[in-house]
Structure 1
């Protein structure tokens, strides 16, 4: 009877976490296709358009780790539920935004809600699934992410073309209500391995402010303000480490990085991987609609192979990581990702469609082969009491990488295009910017192979 109850808990947790995992990438990938339409409605330049995505990622990155620690203390399910509610409310407000700036602000609050889910969903799965089944569960969870990425561009393109871009947010509201009802009514139990411990507010404030300075500063380079904020952010990291190591219940146990090589290197690999891949769909969406002249619907259809191959490969990669050292799989995935990114550094005004599709298949296969084994390696390297923080740390690396990715794009756009609205007169510079961005991402990803390989070699 107890085993049956455990099986129900596992399946319910998997469904709840996977449904929530679907929401955010579905929103993001749908919105990428809609950004040119939003830019036309609000007369927004390329940099402002980038911030519609970057504000969400920045807010998520800032709050994921603090909420991960809060979840370990007060309960994973409680914070998970609060996150879905917050995300749904600000999805509605984003759909009613009267300007690009208000949309950026609402997206930031939407990102705060998402940060509560990021720091808890994987932790709940890790808590209820035994080690032998964990990789498969994480693979299924990531398949939900990739399904959101898959259907997002296609459905988002259709909705943008026929119902307007605001309909994307309202659909997210409906999906959010479904997930809220599912979690509240069906997911039983609570997980709080650090109940009774104190939350270190001082470290949380220093951490959040530091990340804000660092991420916003980097996105403002090469200007003077960007340099100042980036330097202040680096100083803030040092201050955070000094503060966090002197408290009894730290926000982030630094021993996880200093004494756990697998945890440290796997997180660094995640940071590199996501910083090189996140901006790919955004860049391809601009390329297909501005350079090749595709409609939002057609662009969404062309972008379908990338996340679709992720849906197929991710569960397989997750299950393999239960049998093969996940760091080996992650290294192979990182290599394929680098090759896939290299494809798009050579696109032009007359690039054939099969070339674009082939590049997506290679990139998607590599990304899926990296992600679930990398997550399995991170979660399998820590004790149960650190699941919330470990999950949140992995999510923070992912989100920081995503923000960094858009920071690199914003920097390249600032240097090569400038703060002007995208018109046919700027298409040549836009194409050049897209090529440069993919070259930078490919080089960084090739360097990231050394990180995952070293993590394996150093443990032998």
Structure 2
């Protein structure tokens, strides 16, 4: 970019932060809102439990598959271009999802919705880190994380209200409106472009190997108990991903710079993110079903209860981000992961007669843990790489998040297929639903325990200090 005056730079920072935070709000808002709508969608389209899981998981899988290729494309051809195109696609398929006439159509539209989301995920944080200097990065990343958690906060309340009063389709319609606002601001107010890797080549073969491998891995993992050939699909995915790593090591301009993972901070921060999201994402989905199916609450009431977790996340994330500019990120993130582990352990003991205040207290604990982990961990990842790799670093971290979220849902899908065996989720299925939840929370707690050690193993970020 050309040299900017102080006023122009200030305006650029303002609109970059606005665009990044509003877009960061969007997808978690829809995700948490859809969790409240899952029972209503199942009733309207007569969908059984595993298919309902795929309505949520399809968006995550598509986003994870395309995030890294689009992150690299943004570094090469322009982060603003990719971001804007992704937001337009996101808006279009949100509209089509709201107009869907069958479960299969909704599933298809959610896939394309996820592709648009991948283009946004891979560029939003990269734009922020391109505009703000390192000394201010923790603060704006904290605000960005707060936007994510605000979306998570409002999602259950607004999603529950819309589902209860107007119908689940209005969740998608509201997302269309918000996405179009972001498109308008980006097109008219966000001046300039960022493409520090321009002139380098794009690894098309690597993109194909990664996309096919990730798709096969995710589908094989989720369908291992429902699709006879799923284990072979899972194995194929692993082989393709191994081939992808080999391709990246040999390519002059790799899609993913494997050398970045030689940086201990970068490698273990990404591993910690993968484990954190794998062990926590499906919690909202499971508790939405618990509150509506097992406890018999309507979507609106369940939404207000689920609000307790993300409110803490939204309030504490900016503080945690600012604190990570002064305190080692591994300390804050590891503390957050430890609190999350404790919260997951407590969820194991939920049953039909558990008082609602116990669930609320547990959600508060999880909210504090998530807030302490997320923005310090993001700060560690982005501070560990050179500026020219911001797009790839952002996309890699986003991939860890989305792969973790998809794995979290895939594990739930697997346990549902074992215990519910194609049943629709009704009150009669409560005992089996509770059993599936209990196994899920045990596995998530074990994963989170491992994540604490991954977080501690990253070493120190601050210059002049040894790991």
Q: Do 2:50 and 2:422's aligned partners in 1 also have CA atoms closer than 8 Å?
A: yes
Instruction: Trace 1:360-399 onto structure 2 (pairs within 5 A).
Output: 360-399=363-402
- Within the candidate set 48, 51, 55, 1:52 is matched to 55
Change (3 A) 1:382 1:81: same
Alpha-carbon distance, 1:3 to partner: 2.0
- Within the candidate set 96, 115, 119, 2:122 is matched to 119
Task: Give the 3-state SS of the residue equivalent to 2:346 in structure 1.
Answer: helix
Q: Do 2:281 and 2:405's aligned partners in 1 also have CA atoms closer than 8 Å?
A: yes
Q: Do 1:84 and 1:176's aligned partners in 2 also have CA atoms closer than 8 Å?
A: yes
Structure 2 equivalent of residue 236 of structure 1: 240
Task: Give the 3-state SS of the residue equivalent to 1:245 in structure 2.
Answer: helix
Structure 1 residue ranges (4+ consecutive) displaced by more than 4 angstroms after TM superposition: none
Alpha-carbon distance, 1:270 to partner: 0.4
Alpha-carbon distance, 1:423 to partner: 2.6
1:182-201 residue CA offsets vs partner (Å, 9 max, x unmatched): 11111011100011111111
Alpha-carbon distance, 1:362 to partner: 0.5
CA distance in 1, matches of 2:344, 2:274: 16
Are residue 256 (structure 1) and residue 260 (structure 2) matched? yes
Task: Give the 3-state SS of the residue equivalent to 2:348 in structure 1.
Answer: helix
Are residue 245 (structure 1) and residue 249 (structure 2) matched? yes
CA distance in 2, matches of 1:334, 1:123: 25
Change (3 A) 1:457 1:67: closer
- Within the candidate set 424, 428, 431, 1:428 is matched to 431
Instruction: Trace 1:297-446 onto structure 2 (pairs within 5 A).
Output: 297-446=300-449
Q: Which range moves more in the overlay, 173-182 or 58-67? A: 173-182
Alpha-carbon distance, 1:325 to partner: 1.0
Alpha-carbon distance, 1:456 to partner: 2.5
- Within the candidate set 451, 455, 459, 1:452 is matched to 455
CA distance in 2, matches of 1:220, 1:164: 30
Q: Do 2:264 and 2:459's aligned partners in 1 also have CA atoms closer than 8 Å?
A: no
Q: Do 2:330 and 2:460's aligned partners in 1 also have CA atoms closer than 8 Å?
A: no
CA distance in 1, matches of 2:427, 2:36: 19
| Number of matched pairs | 459
1:26-49 residue CA offsets vs partner (Å, 9 max, x unmatched): 111111000000000011011111
Alpha-carbon distance, 1:16 to partner: 0.5
1:34-92 residue CA offsets vs partner (Å, 9 max, x unmatched): 00000000110111110011000000000000000000000111101011100000000
Structure 2 equivalent of residue 161 of structure 1: 164
Structure 2 equivalent of residue 211 of structure 1: 214
Q: Do 1:328 and 1:456's aligned partners in 2 also have CA atoms closer than 8 Å?
A: no
1:109-134 residue CA offsets vs partner (Å, 9 max, x unmatched): 00000101100000011111111110
Alpha-carbon distance, 1:232 to partner: 1.1
TM-score by length of 1: 0.98
CA distance in 1, matches of 2:41, 2:297: 16
Structure 2 equivalent of residue 227 of structure 1: 231
Change (3 A) 1:457 1:14: closer
Q: Which runs of 5+ in 2 are unaligned?
A: none
CA distance in 2, matches of 1:444, 1:99: 36
Are residue 135 (structure 1) and residue 135 (structure 2) matched? no
Q: Do 2:220 and 2:233's aligned partners in 1 also have CA atoms closer than 8 Å?
A: yes
CA distance in 2, matches of 1:406, 1:168: 21
Structure 1 equivalent of residue 91 of structure 2: 88
Task: Give the 3-state SS of the residue equivalent to 2:229 in structure 1.
Answer: helix
- Within the candidate set 263, 274, 278, 2:277 is matched to 274
CA distance in 1, matches of 2:319, 2:49: 38
Task: Give the 3-state SS of the residue equivalent to 2:363 in structure 1.
Answer: helix
Alpha-carbon distance, 1:457 to partner: 7.5
RMSD of aligned Cα (Å): 1.1
Q: Which runs of 5+ in 1 are unaligned?
A: none
Structure 2 equivalent of residue 21 of structure 1: 24
Structure 2 equivalent of residue 171 of structure 1: 174
Q: Do 2:265 and 2:460's aligned partners in 1 also have CA atoms closer than 8 Å?
A: no
Change (3 A) 1:457 1:82: closer
CA distance in 1, matches of 2:203, 2:72: 9
CA distance in 2, matches of 1:319, 1:303: 27
Alpha-carbon distance, 1:302 to partner: 0.6
